[in-house]
Amino acid sequence: MNKLLKNAIWILIAALGAAAVGGIALNRGESINTLWFITAALCVYAIAYRFYAVWIAATVLAVDETRATPAERLDNGRDFVPTNKWIVFGHHFAAIAGPGPLVGPTLAAQFGYLPGTLWILFGAVLGGCVQDMVTLFLSTRRDAKSLGQMARDELGALGGTAALIGTFAIMIILIAVLGLVVVNAMKHSPWATATVSATIPIAMIVGLYMRSFRPGQVLEASALGVALLLLSVVGGGWIDRNETLRVWFDHEGLTLAWAVMAYGFAAAILPVWLLLAPRDYLSTYVKLGTITLLAVAIVMLQPTVKMPALTQFIDGTGPIFGGKLFPFVFITIACGAISGFHALIASGTTPKLLSNERDIRMIGYGGMLLESFVAIMAMMAATVLDPGVFFAINSPAGVVGKEAVDAVAKISSWGFPVTVEQMQLLANQMGEATLFARTGGAPSLAVGMASIFGSAFGESMLALWYHFAIMFEAIFILTTLDAGTRVGRFMLQDMLGNIWPKMAETSWTPSVIFTSALVVASWGYFLYIGVIDPNGGVNILWPLFGIANQMLAAIALCVATGILVKSGKLKYAWVTGLPLMWLVTITSTAAWEKIASDNIRIGFFSAANDLADKLAVGALPPEKAAIAPKLIFNLHLDGWLTLFFVTLLWLIVFDMLRVCSRYLAGKPVLPLAESPHSPSRLVEDWVRD
């Protein structure tokens, strides 16, 4: 009876999920309620978690709950510590959830709500969650080794080197594009600039508090910091209304880009306790709090999605970024569906805390499900806006024109009516001078979140909600920027240490300054490209980031597939092999289009040639002719970089296939690096306190 009831419940969930997904997919009416999206997401996640994840854990990976984990065997009371599964889940989720799942879906909403939503749901349950869970499992079986180390041990030197270079490259592009998102949100917005700047001294106060004033009192210091952050949102509004003070914070994009670079350099050389650690605490609290608040507001309010299921831009003419639905929706939404970066976390801190292999499903698979849900919420926040407003905020001036009148005329001509008055009213409500051409995703997400929060918790505070949302995104973008620059610095020091050992000393000041400057210069250059680009920069940088991130995911899946085959599990290799094939397909197609397309909004080289031709015949206005040589060089650089990424990807895929075919032919391959079985001695109750 009991079993029958359980089956009946699961059949009901499956039917409900199918109905909701079908409803979303087939709806062609004016609007659709967000409740459909939440239902579809929760049912898909529940089914996948209950059946697919259980099957992978039990049959493909064969997790063994009697086997001692690295946390138990190597327990040192510091980084290796057997930890309660909910705590590990919290750490893992806080580490994987960054700004990526918020920005990607917002940009991809230019295709309509449907393609992005389906990719977020099915990409996550079949790809992203599997990658995270399998990587976590493999690392747990190998003394919590990193992805790069596992690639070296299991595939060979080529795989290991590729993983290292891939990680470094993605870090550089990631920081540049996130920097661009922040710059576009602060451009000529004294309120946003003042609030975001205030987060720096606030982080330092918190750092000093928990280092010197009350050492180790993390929660006290954090509470103080969060209070100060909220105060800075209000204070920013006060500065904005003060005529003398507001000019101090009213800047061009380029000035702000230099400031972001200076900040990144300072953050990389200052001690962690002063800036990086406290900022990380604050951003984690604000992030978890805001995501929870957004979920509550959406469930309470159930706003209506106004964006159509599909827009005409699936043909590749979209204003935010050029390129057809296939493959560009899959490149644009990386985090939220599948993110290679997660493999670095799942093979880093998390396996050092895991007390039992049985929890791998909940932490690896479940953590990614929650991230996917964040991406769904971002998609909802972007699509509840009037499509006309959405496009007015996100379309760069280079596409729709600099003047408000031109922009609204152009956007309305696409069939998304919007007026200058409507945009002005919205800007006034949000406490901004203008909301036109704020490409990057952060401002439109902030407007979406502000209108959702506003209707749920009080309309009068729209401007506060808007700047709170901007602060929320900026604070963890800057955290990624700090942490990424620092990690990049360590990686570079490590690499240069092979040539000159003294460079590898992480506390040798000349090396610290040199490598930090080099890392900042690398991402700073791409940030600079993005800021001076008349088409908003996102069109160039976001696809590069997507390609790099998917390439890293492909590396992780190559390692996983190779190990599955080497473990004699060829018949299950499709579990990671199919997502891998899909990633290789979309990454290669996207890279090919970015390199070879004749369309100047897609192909890097054709855009460079077009610009060069126009420059030669003098068809460019003087201010554009002045920067044209730089733009041409940048486009070439981007094109070569894309080619480099895709070559690296194919090298690893062939290396993995080489190892697999040698194994299947009975030839010698590198042995499995799995650490030997030792029985777990942990008493159940002790760990699960």
Residue 304's φ and ψ, nearest 5 degrees, are -95, 135
For the chain, the straight-line distance linking the first and the last C-alpha, in angstroms and rounded, comes to 34
Please select the residue that binds other proteins; options are 32, 38, 150, 178, rule is CB under 8 A: 178
- Contact call for residue 213 and other proteins (CB under 8 A): no
Letters for 128-167 (x = contact with other proteins by CB under 8 A, - = none) are: ----------------------------------------
User: Which range in 118-126, 209-217, 529-537, 601-609 contacts other proteins by CB under 8 A?
Assistant: 209-217
- Sole window of 2-10, 245-253, 344-352, 529-537 interacting with other proteins (rule: CB under 8 A): 344-352
Q: Does residue 335 bind other proteins (CB under 8 A)?
A: yes
Return the closest-CA partner of residue 94 out of 293, 286, 268: 286
Residue 73, interface with other proteins (CB under 8 A)? Answer: no
Question: Nearest to residue 285, comparing CAs of 230, 216, 362, 363?
Answer: 230
Is the CB of 91 or the CB of 467 nearer to other proteins?
A: 91
**Per-residue contact track with other proteins, 22 to 51, x per CB under 8 A?**
------------------------------
Which of 95, 150, 196, 608 is close enough to bind other proteins by CB under 8 A? 95
Distant-in-sequence, close-in-space partners of 366: CB < 8 Å, separation ≥ 6: 49, 53, 89
Minimum separation from the CB atom of position 319 to other proteins (A):
24
Residue 135 Cβ vs other proteins, minimum distance, rounded to whole Å: 13
Query: Segment near other proteins (CB under 8 A), from 115-123, 207-215, 621-629, 665-673?
Result: 207-215
Distance of CA 259 to the CA centre of its chain: 23
**Least separation in angstroms between CB 310 and other proteins:** 27
Regarding 497 and contact with other proteins (CB under 8 A), the answer is no
Q: Which two tokens stand for residue 599?
A: 């369309």
- Angstrom distance (rounded) from CA 359 to CA 372: 19
Select 440 or 603, whichever has its Cβ closest to other proteins. 440
Q: For residues 254 and 173, what is the distance between their CA atoms, to the nearest angstrom?
A: 18
Under rule CB under 8 A, residue 215 binds other proteins: yes
Distant-in-sequence, close-in-space partners of 371: CB < 8 Å, separation ≥ 6: 93, 96, 97, 101, 124, 128, 335, 336, 339, 342
Stretch that binds other proteins, among 212-220, 297-305, 526-534, 610-618 (CB under 8 A): 212-220
Answer left, alpha or beta for residue 220, where phi above 0 means left and psi between -120 and 50 means alpha. alpha
Does residue 291 interact with other proteins by CB under 8 A? no
Q: Tell me which H or E stretch contains 664.
A: helix 622-664
User: How far is the C-alpha of 554 from the C-alpha of 163, rounded, in Å?
Assistant: 10
Q: Of 57, 483, 544, 551, which one interacts with other proteins (CB under 8 A)?
A: 483
Asked if 198 touches other proteins (CB under 8 A), the answer is no
CB 345 within 8 A of CB 167: no
Q: Which is nearer to other proteins, 280 or 357 (CB)?
A: 280
Of positions 339, 383, 395, 597, contacts other proteins by CB under 8 A:
339
210 binds other proteins (CB under 8 A): yes
d(CA 339, CA 104): 11
By CB under 8 A, tell whether 479 contacts other proteins: yes
**Does residue 344 bind other proteins (CB under 8 A)?**
yes
Quote the least distance from Cβ 562 to other proteins, whole Å: 22
C-alpha span between 94 and 111 (Å, rounded): 30
- From 315-323, 409-417, 479-487, 521-529, span contacting other proteins (CB under 8 A): 479-487
**For residue 474, which of 434, 451, 445 has the smallest C-alpha distance?**
445
Judged by beta carbon, residue 80 or residue 465, the one nearer other proteins is: 80
**DSSP H/E element including 305:** strand 304-305
CA 648 to the chain's CA centroid? 21
Q: How many residues bind other proteins (CB under 8 A)?
A: 51
Of the ranges 54-62, 90-98, 229-237, 412-420, which one interacts with other proteins (CB under 8 A)? 90-98
Write the DSSP symbol of residue 575.
H
In the complex, what is the shortest distance from the CB of residue 388 to other proteins, in angstroms, rounded to a whole number? Answer: 30
Mutual angle of helices 367-383 and 100-108, in 10-degree steps: 40
* Binding track over 555-594 against other proteins, x by CB under 8 A: ----------------------------------------
Least Cβ distance, residue 272 to other proteins (angstroms) = 4
Does 225 contact other proteins by CB under 8 A? no
234 lines the binding site for other proteins (CB under 8 A): no
- Whole-number Å distance between alpha carbons of 609 and 314: 25
Classify residue 612 as exposed, middle or buried by CB count within 10 Å of its CB (0-12, 13-18, 19+): middle
Query: Residue 677: which residues within 8 A CB-CB, separation 6 or more?
Result: 64, 67
| DSSP states along 60-83 | IS---TTBPPHHHHT--SSSS--B
Per CB under 8 A, the list member of 70, 98, 431, 639 interacting with other proteins is 98
Q: Among residues 122, 490, 514, 525, which is the contact residue for other proteins, using CB under 8 A?
A: 490
Q: Provide the β-strand partners of residue 588.
A: none
Q: Any contact of residue 272 with other proteins (CB under 8 A)?
A: yes
13 backbone dihedrals φ, ψ, rounded to 5°: -60, -45
- Residue 112's alpha-carbon distances to 41, 103, 125, 299, 310, in angstroms, are 17, 15, 22, 22, 4
CB of 300 to other proteins, least distance (A): 22
| In the complex, minimum distance from the CB of residue 375 to other proteins, in angstroms, rounded to a whole number | 12
Q: Does 100 bind other proteins (CB under 8 A)?
A: yes
Regarding 281 and contact with other proteins (CB under 8 A), the answer is yes
**Residue 205 binds other proteins, judged by CB under 8 A:** no
Note the residues at the interface with other proteins (CB under 8 A): 75, 77-79, 81, 83-84, 86-87, 90-91, 94-100, 174, 178, 210-211, 215-219, 222, 272-273, 276-277, 280-281, 335, 339, 341-342, 344-345, 348-349, 479-480, 483-484, 486-487, 490, 549, 689
